[in-house]
Chains A and B, each alone.
Chain A
Amino acid sequence: MTGNSATVTVADAPVAGRAGGAAAFRRTLPGRIVLLLVFGFLYLPIAVLVMLSFNDSGLPTAWSGFSTRWYSALLGNSDILRAAWNTLVVAIFATLVSTILGTLLALGMETRRRKSNGLEALAFAPMVIPDIVLAVALLTFFSRLGLTMGLHTIIVSHVVFDLAFVCSVVRARLKHFDFSIVEASRDLGASGWTTFWRVTFPVLLPSIVAGALLAFTLSVDEFIIAFFTAGAGRSSITLPMQIYSMIRFGITPEVNALATIVMGVSATALLISQWLNKEQVR
């Protein structure tokens, strides 16, 4: 899935700088041109895809009028609907499990007195390990155990990288967390349990939700690991797997429509996640 490898979230952005800083060096024309070109490069292919999905003829050769018929066609395609359902099931369960485990792991790692290098590496590895390697390792593991593979094995596998991402998002928040408010709460007479639910948890909640949304997006988009751990048969095909097999047969207008929907869902989840991350930093 390869999307699972970024170690830095967007919220991890700038802190330095002072008002009235390098005013003389700012807002140069070359800078604007560079950004225009790079954003063009990043968004043009996506824009073309979205436009094509609304093209009545479905062909890239000519614009033959606005139409949503390819979206209607999707609704009539039972393979795609089943794949979408499977994806939703996988993403929801993987997100639930990874959010709980990832948050606890983040709390554990940030409240330790001494940083453990082994622990750091363990939590970092799922984000950098080539997904093809994790995929074959899990395939080997599940078949060695003699497990029948299906949605459940995909969920278990997705939790591995999902939890690492939830953990990194929550840890980023904990780094700015003032632990003296926990002590203050205890000092004011609250028990440890009450303190967690009344103080720690509300402060962390936005980052937990942001992490969960990220995990959800990653699971929805993940292809390679799902492909290797889905087992035989069509019953546990997920949306990316469905898309992959459709793409291999070439361009079809339905793929354009499907791609547009999938990107829309991811972008929405990320916008919310990002917004929550912003709120908490303020």
Chain B
Amino acid sequence: MNAETSPILRIESVAKKFGPVVAVDGVSIDVRENEFFALLGPSGCGKTTLLRMLAGFETPNAGRILLDGRDISPLPPEKRPLNLMFQSYALFPHMTVRQNLSYGLEMERLDKAEIRRRVDETMATTDLTQFADRKPEQLSGGQKQRVALARALVKRPKVLLLDEPLGALDKKLREKMQLELKRMQNEVGITFIIVTHDQEEALVMADRMAILKDGRLLQCGSPEEIYEAPADRFVANFIGVMNFIDGQVAEDGVFEAEGLRLALVNARPGPATLATRPENIAVGAPGERLAGTIADIAYHGLDRVLHVKTPATPVPMQVRVPASGAAYRVGDALSLKIDPARCRLFAGGAVGAGG
């Protein structure tokens, strides 16, 4: 094993059951040093349970959690060199900002001067110096969030765990904080593992991400890999917008659906679903390829998204066109040209609209 590839944190076939409910079902993930890693999935997918097992608040029923090659799963939370930033922030209401930050260092029995120095330093990097003597009640949501982050960071953990860290903030502040967190992670050089249900947040921040559903790991990779090559219909639909066309691959490798024939390379014959992103569809004059009519137009600033009714799909397909291009009106007939090189083909029959 060389330093390049050896993971700082290795989750090995970890499983967790609550009574009859399987919350995490044999998940294995490697997280690399200094990586910004996202655990992404809809609510109830097991991502929070997984995070709580990393922090030590739940004990896995099976599997191991290795930190730097050492199994930490038998350790209680206070003995683990990982720290968690709680979703509710969990700031101690009876302590000032400074006392909140000092708390974790006092537990390490550092001397007072050292604690003071490190707390001051962390408050400076997180822009909290002026609030040192305030109680959590006297802080705004964004400030509380920074205190929660600082309180975990001041411990210099090997891995920082963040449980929906931006969930409580409004959209504007959230977008600002996404970049802020990313910058902070670069600065301190600590591995971040963030739990989120917001795919956009994960795409913006994460170096790599894992997508979970019903306690299972569906796919793990960089945002680009997952966006461009989703492993299955669920991932394809969960990350970004995807159009699905149910059809059949003929013996000659041509994908056939109502009103559409598309020659594909290496396609296995049988029932299949074709998936393509709105930006990978070109609009042409009537007569070419898949014919349709515009049902709706949504304006998004730089571009427009046309919702096009076609015989091939039960719901209108979404097609992204530049806002400055040709003018469209609802009811216009047009034809759609799908780029066969930028499609995904999922074997199996129809799963229903939108996957």
Contact = CB atoms under 8 A, between A and B. Distances in A.
Q: A contacts B directly in the complex (CB < 8 Å)?
A: yes
Interface of A: 20, 22-24
Nearest to A25: B57
Nearest to A22: B57
A24 B57 CA distance: 7
Given A20-B18, A20-B52, 9 more contacts: A20-B23, A20-B49, A20-B58, A22-B57, A23-B57, A23-B58, A24-B57, A24-B58, A24-B59
A22 B18 CA distance: 13
A27 to B, nearest CB: 14
B17 to A, nearest CB: 11
A88 B18 CA distance: 52
Interface of B: 18, 23, 49, 52, 57-59
Contacts of A20: 18, 23, 49, 52, 58
Nearest to B23: A20
Contacts of B52: 20
9 contacts: A20-B18, A20-B23, A20-B58, A22-B57, A23-B57, A23-B58, A24-B57, A24-B58, A24-B59
Nearest to A24: B57
Contacts of B59: 24
Nearest to B48: A20
Contacts of B18: 20
Contacts of A24: 57-59
A230 to B, nearest CB: 49
Nearest to A19: B18
A223 B49 CA distance: 55
A20 B58 CA distance: 9
A113 B43 CA distance: 39
| Highest count of chain A CB atoms <10 Å: which of B18, B23, B57, B58 | B57
Contacts of A23: 57-58
A23 B77 CA distance: 13
A23 B52 CA distance: 11
A280 B84 CA distance: 38
Nearest to A23: B58
B291 to A, nearest CB: 48
B155 to A, nearest CB: 21
A24 B23 CA distance: 16
A22 B52 CA distance: 11
B90 to A, nearest CB: 12
A23 B57 CA distance: 8
B160 to A, nearest CB: 21
B22 to A, nearest CB: 13
Nearest to A16: B88
A24 B58 CA distance: 7
A24 B18 CA distance: 12
A22 B57 CA distance: 7
A25 to B, nearest CB: 9
A23 B59 CA distance: 10
A20 to B, nearest CB: 6
Contacts of B49: 20
A24 B59 CA distance: 8
Lowest 10 CB-CB distances: which A-B pairs, in order? A20-B18, A24-B57, A23-B58, A20-B49, A24-B59, A20-B58, A24-B58, A22-B57, A23-B57, A20-B52
A281 B200 CA distance: 38
A268 to B, nearest CB: 35
A3 B58 CA distance: 43
A220 to B, nearest CB: 42
A23 B18 CA distance: 10
Nearest to B58: A23
Contacts of B57: 22-24
A24 B56 CA distance: 9
A22 to B, nearest CB: 8
A26 B18 CA distance: 14
A22 B49 CA distance: 12
Nearest to B49: A20
A25 B23 CA distance: 20
Nearest to B87: A18
Contacts of B58: 20, 23-24
A23 B61 CA distance: 14
A20 B59 CA distance: 12
A20 B46 CA distance: 12
A192 to B, nearest CB: 37
Contacts of A22: 57
A264 B52 CA distance: 48
A276 to B, nearest CB: 31
A242 to B, nearest CB: 50
A22 B58 CA distance: 9
